[in-house]
Structures are given as structure tokens and as C-alpha cells.
Structure 1
């Protein structure tokens, strides 16, 4: 008889805003802006519960680390939770990329396996985030929290729901939104909060 994988709970929190959120720059590592700091501080009473998690992680970006620190989580950066690798488009806005490479943007938006920017395809990104959920060690009944990029929450939703990759483009995640994923490897459910 095989033991079933442990039951776990993961709460993913979208980082507070940075200037990159406002101007839509790809894979940008700018820190929280003043409004982002204020938003996190205002949300402390409702998010302080996250500090009770046994394990606390974050995407390696400045805004994710800073959001976690303001909440008192002292999260451990996880490379697997970084934003999608946008290759040579890193730091550009969609408008800038569309003006320079319109055919490549169309290809990237229509084919989840495409990576015309030389980075990571949407499908690879979703699989990377899902792989993190599947392999993250959490004791049976354990709880882990991760402060991530909004894109990571979108990828997690696609992975957990086994949705086609193009569904990613139809999911909107606001700063400081939370998603809780419960279950065990291959058998997840989600709750938006």
C-alpha cells in the first residue's frame, strides 16, 4: 500500500504595487512605490494572519520581498516563484514591444509555447509555478505562504484548474489579492479571498 501525498495549504499573496505595475513593464524588479508601501501598511490588520504559516516564501523581486517584510513574514526567496522570464523584452512595456515587434507579440499572445523574446514561454511559466506547488515540502496539514508577482497567481490558477494556457490572459489579479490552494500533489482546489 502506498501512502498518499501529504495534504497541504498554500496561500499566495500578490505583492503590493510598484511603479512597474502602473506602467506595465515586463519582468521588472523595481521596489514598492509610496502608494504600495501605504497599501501594505493599511492591509496589515487583515493580512497579519499570514505570519502564522509554518513556511514563508516570496518571489525574488524587490517588491515581493518588501511586501513580505512589511507584513513581518521574513520570507525566503524562491527562484521558482519569479515572474515569467521575458528575455530581451525585460523592462519594456507591451506598447513598446508591440511598436518594435508586432508579429512577435501576436505570436506570443496566440501560442503558449512561443518565446519570441528569447525567455520563457507561457506554458513553461505555468508548468514552473505548478511544479513548485507539487514539490514544495510542507508537512501533512501544513501551511505555506508566498508573496508573489500577480503573474504567478495567474499561472497557479491555470495550473490548479488544469485550464488551457490561453485562460491566463483572462485572469486579472490585483495587488495584495490572495489565493489559497489546498490539497495534495495533482489534486488541488483553490479559494480566492
Structure 2
């Protein structure tokens, strides 16, 4: 008996270079177009018994646009970036270069006054481990950072691995298993 968790990264709300920490902006025009273009491959995930999303406007809008009618899960919120909320990494690095360096180097550091990377990964992992344990599937639409954190947790990888995982808008990944015993599941695309 195992649970199948498909994670879908929310569509974009801004140009990738203009992404901001803890960004609560809704989907932009490009994001809506991307959802429409990708819907044919993502809509089947909505057959999952359980459908969730993070509380951000773009995650909710992505899930709704795909017809998932997802239940909002506060535990799937983006990392709390404290006083850096709403800023880009470039803006923060220009103002607080030492703090950014500490944050990138130490997963326990929270120089912004919010949540450390380790606490964020643990929170997302706790959400994974508390899903109903029964044979079945669930889908969750979340911010790319949440998908990255879930992968690091599921693979029991060092927290520094988080920085080496690239999650693009509307990308998907599936993990299978049971609480505390997750595996990455790569699937072939039918021809």
C-alpha cells in the first residue's frame, strides 16, 4: 500500500527574473496562457482522490483553471521570508549581502527574521507524512519552492540540495511511498 503524490508547480505570476520572495500576485496573462497550453497533460491529474493547493493566489488559480477544485493547505505555503517578503533576491543581495550569504550557506539561518530553509523543508515534509495512508493518489498545486522542498524531504537529501533543484512553472513530479519512506517516480510519456 502506498500513496502517490503528484506535485504541480503553479503557473507564473511574473517574469522569472522578477520573481519576489513570498509573492502573492495572481496569475499574469502569460501564466493563464501557459495553463491553457499545458492543460491537456495536467487535467488527468485531477482524477486523484485528494486535490490540494497552497494558499497563494496563483496556486489556487492554477488548480481551479485545471478543474482540480483544490482544498487550500496552509502547510503548503511558501517559505516565510520575514522582512525580505516582496523583494527580489537581487534587491536583498544589494542591501544585505552578508545576510544573503549566510542564508544560502546555512540551512538553519533565518537572517530575514522568517523561516529557515531547514524549518521550511521540515514543514513541507510533515505535510507529506500526514497524508492519509491508503492506496491512492493525490495532487497538489504549489509554489515551485514548495515542490523543491518536498523533493529534498522525500529523497532524504541534504538541505543544500534545495539550491540545485530547478522547478519551472507547471512542471510536475510524482513521489510515491508511505510517511517517512518516499521515492521519486519518473514516468515515460506514451507515444
Taking structure 2 as the reference length, what is the TM-score of the superposition? 0.94
1:141 aligns with 135
1:20–1:28: 8 Å Cα contact kept in structure 2?
Answer: no
Q: 24, 35, 42: which one pairs with 1:40?
A: 35
Instruction: Tell me whether 1:79 sits opposite 2:74 in the alignment.
Output: yes
Q: 147, 150, 158: which one pairs with 1:153?
A: 147
1:87–1:117: 8 Å Cα contact kept in structure 2?
Answer: yes
Q: What do residues 31-75 of structure 1 show as CA deviations (whole Å, max 9, x unaligned)?
A: 111010001011111111111011100000000000001000111
2:2 aligns with 7
Q: How many angstroms does 1:153 deviate by?
A: 0.9
Q: How many angstroms does 1:167 deviate by?
A: 0.8
Taking structure 1 as the reference length, what is the TM-score of the superposition? 0.93
2:120 aligns with 125
* CA–CA separation in structure 1 for the residues paired with 2:40 and 2:23: 28
Q: How many angstroms does 1:186 deviate by?
A: 1.2
Q: CA RMSD in A?
A: 1.2
Q: How many angstroms does 1:24 deviate by?
A: 2.2
1:56–1:144: 8 Å Cα contact kept in structure 2?
Answer: yes
1:3 aligns with none
Q: What do residues 99-135 of structure 1 show as CA deviations (whole Å, max 9, x unaligned)?
A: 1111111100000000000000000000011100001
Instruction: Tell me whether 1:54 sits opposite 2:49 in the alignment.
Output: yes
Q: How many angstroms does 1:192 deviate by?
A: 4.7
Secondary structure at the residue paired with 1:98? helix
1:20–1:30: 8 Å Cα contact kept in structure 2?
Answer: no
Gaps of 5+ in 1: 1-5
Secondary structure at the residue paired with 1:146? strand
- Deviation >3 Å, runs of 4+: none
